[in-house]
């Protein structure tokens, strides 16, 4: 790796290397020495960019979360020619969930990795607060991503929520988490569409015109 890379570029390079390793051997088995070797740098470079493995894992889960966020945010076609009202809101939410699902279904190893990072973070979290912070950062970021999508859809369709947005975003994330985990178990992609339809109906039911 070039010595002329900025610290942020080095960090991004190391995160990509860590993701590749974690997909192959699992989060718990990855060491900073492994990451250094995979990235083609010295161990000192890894520890210059990240205090320890947990700090690296924190940034890894953020990177995975940003990938999902960008699958909706960067698809501007979703937000064009939007009508008003609850029906339009329901359709917009469903389209956003579909964009999210297309990214998820194309990257099963990435999705498995997100669950592994959560369980890695929660194991012995009472003894290692920094490790618990990994899971907290992961879900805080994802909550924010879902809340932003729901609020953008609400604003675009000139509707309003009848219950607090943070309640809806957490519920949505919980449902999507469950749908993805079940899909990883049984690989039944055909059933996902109906579940996303149902979730969209439920969410639109909490909107008012």
- 59 and 113 assigned to the same domain: yes
Domains contained in the chain, number = 2
User: What whole-number distance in Å separates Cα of residue 59 and Cα of residue 51?
Assistant: 12
What is the structure's pLDDT at 21? 93
- 139 and 74 assigned to the same domain: yes
- 37 and 84 assigned to the same domain: no
pTM value is: 0.84
Burial class from Cβ neighbours inside 10 Å (0-12, 13-18, 19+) for residue 3 reads: exposed
- 110 and 37 assigned to the same domain: no
- 7 and 82 assigned to the same domain: no
Helix or strand or coil: residue 160?
A: strand
Per-residue pLDDT 10s for the chain (209 aa) are 445 778 889 999 999 999 999 998 888 899 999 999 999 999 999 999 999 998 998 899 888 888 878 877 777 778 788 899 999 999 999 999 998 899 899 999 989 999 999 998 888 777 778 788 888 888 998 999 899 999 999 999 999 999 999 999 999 999 999 999 999 999 999 999 999 999 999 999 999 98
- 93 and 168 assigned to the same domain: yes
DSSP letter at 204 equals H
- 200 and 101 assigned to the same domain: yes
Helix or strand or coil: residue 161?
A: strand
Helices (H) and strands (E) in the chain, counts: 9, 2
Q: How many CB atoms are closer than 10 A to CB 136?
A: 13
What is the structure's pLDDT at 178? 96
CATH for 43: 1.10.10
- 42 and 83 assigned to the same domain: no
- 32 and 72 assigned to the same domain: no
- 115 and 166 assigned to the same domain: yes
Helix or strand or coil: residue 208?
A: strand
What is the structure's pLDDT at 12? 93
Tokens found for residue 182: 């079940």
- 154 and 66 assigned to the same domain: yes
- 199 and 109 assigned to the same domain: yes
CATH for 64: 1.10.357.10
Q: Which domain holds residue 3?
A: 1-50
């Amino acid at each position: 790796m070039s010595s002329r890379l900025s610290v942020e570029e080095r960090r991004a390079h190391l995160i990509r290397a860590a993701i590749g390793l974690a997909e192959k051997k699992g989060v718990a088995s990855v060491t900073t020495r492994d990451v250094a070797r995979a990235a083609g740098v010295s161990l000192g470079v890894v520890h210059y960019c990240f205090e320890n493995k947990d700090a690296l894992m924190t940034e890894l889960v953020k990177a995975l979360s940003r990938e999902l966020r960008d699958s909706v945010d960067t698809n501007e076609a979703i937000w064009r020619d939007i009508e008003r009202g609850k029906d339009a809101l329901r359709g917009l939410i469903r389209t956003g969930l579909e964009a999210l699902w297309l990214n998820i279904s194309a990257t099963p190893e990435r999705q498995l990795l997100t669950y592994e990072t959560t369980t890695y973070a929660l194991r012995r979290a009472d003894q290692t607060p920094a490790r618990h912070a990994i899971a907290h950062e992961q879900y805080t970021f994802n909550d924010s991503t879902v809340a932003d999508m729901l609020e953008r859809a609400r604003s675009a369709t000139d509707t309003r929520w009848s219950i607090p947005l943070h309640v809806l975003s957490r519920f949505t994330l919980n449902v999507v988490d469950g749908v993805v985990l079940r899909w990883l178990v049984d690989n039944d992609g055909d059933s996902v569409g109906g579940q996303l339809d149902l979730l969209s109906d439920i969410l639109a039911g909490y909107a008012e015109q």
